[in-house]
């Protein structure tokens, strides 16, 4: 039985090796903040961190995640929404429908690690998650505000 380190806790999971990490997180661990969007890694709604790197969990198979790798979901980013990206999202009321926002937040948190003072162009090129509502200007503002809060 594979073991996963998710949000600082070890879990033994019972799933086929080729099962996408997304479904293990949602169905076995009950971490439903990670969303299913497209299933082909195009939209980013399923973004989580593996050892701090943003990945699209719909395309990561269980067999490709080592027990010692730290997986962080939206539920584990901050227990009290104190992460700067979460603070900025709340302050600026970034989401519209909200469906993609956990993936946007996870992608933005990892993005800010590499681009602590991002330009508009950095954000345009680096943030590849899709938002059906088109809140890209609010997402950009949220990322810039989070950079100020960091």
pLDDT digits (tens, 9 = 90+) for 17-36: 999 999 999 999 999 999 99
What angle, 0 to 180 degrees and rounded to 10, lies between the N-to-C axes of helices 84-92 and 101-114?
Answer: 130
What's the N-to-C CA distance of the chain in angstroms?
Answer: 39
What token pair was written down for 92?
């600026």
The reply to whether 53 and 92 lie within a common domain is: no
The reply to whether 67 and 9 lie within a common domain is: yes
For 1, 2, 7, 13, 97, the CA distances from 110, given in Å and listed in that order, are: 30, 26, 15, 26, 23
Residue 63 lies in domain: 3-77
What token pair was written down for 102?
């956990």
The reply to whether 17 and 70 lie within a common domain is: yes
Q: What is the pLDDT of residue 79?
A: 85
The reply to whether 96 and 125 lie within a common domain is: yes
The reply to whether 67 and 99 lie within a common domain is: no
Encode pLDDT of 63-113 as tens digits. 999 999 999 999 999 989 999 999 999 999 999 999 999 999 999 999 999
Predicted model pTM: 0.96
The reply to whether 119 and 56 lie within a common domain is: no
Residue 59 has phi, psi (to 5 degrees) of: -115, 5
Out of 14, 43, 77, a domain closes at 77
CA-nearest of 59, 73, 77 to 28 is 73
Alpha carbons 118 and 112: distance in angstroms, whole number: 7
Evaluate if residue 1 carries a pLDDT over 90: no
What is the count of structural domains for the chain?
2
Q: How many CB atoms lie within 10 A of CB 25?
A: 25
Average pLDDT for residues 126-135, to the nearest whole number? 95
């Amino acid at each position: 039985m594979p073991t996963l380190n998710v949000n600082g806790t070890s879990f033994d999971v019972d799933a086929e090796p080729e099962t996408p990490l997304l479904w293990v997180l949602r169905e076995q661990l009950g971490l439903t903040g990670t969303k299913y969007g497209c299933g082909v890694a195009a939209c980013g709604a399923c973004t989580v961190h593996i050892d701090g790197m943003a990945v699209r969990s719909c395309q990561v198979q269980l067999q490709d995640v080592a027990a010692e790798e730290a997986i962080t979901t939206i539920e584990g980013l901050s227990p009290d929404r104190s992460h700067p990206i979460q603070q900025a999202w709340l302050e600026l009321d970034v989401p519209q429908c909200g469906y993609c926002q956990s993936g946007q937040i996870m992608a933005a948190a990892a993005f800010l690690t590499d681009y602590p003072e991002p330009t508009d162009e950095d954000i345009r090129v680096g943030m590849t998650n899709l938002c059906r509502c088109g809140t890209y200007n609010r997402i950009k503002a949220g990322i810039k505000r989070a950079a100020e809060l960091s």
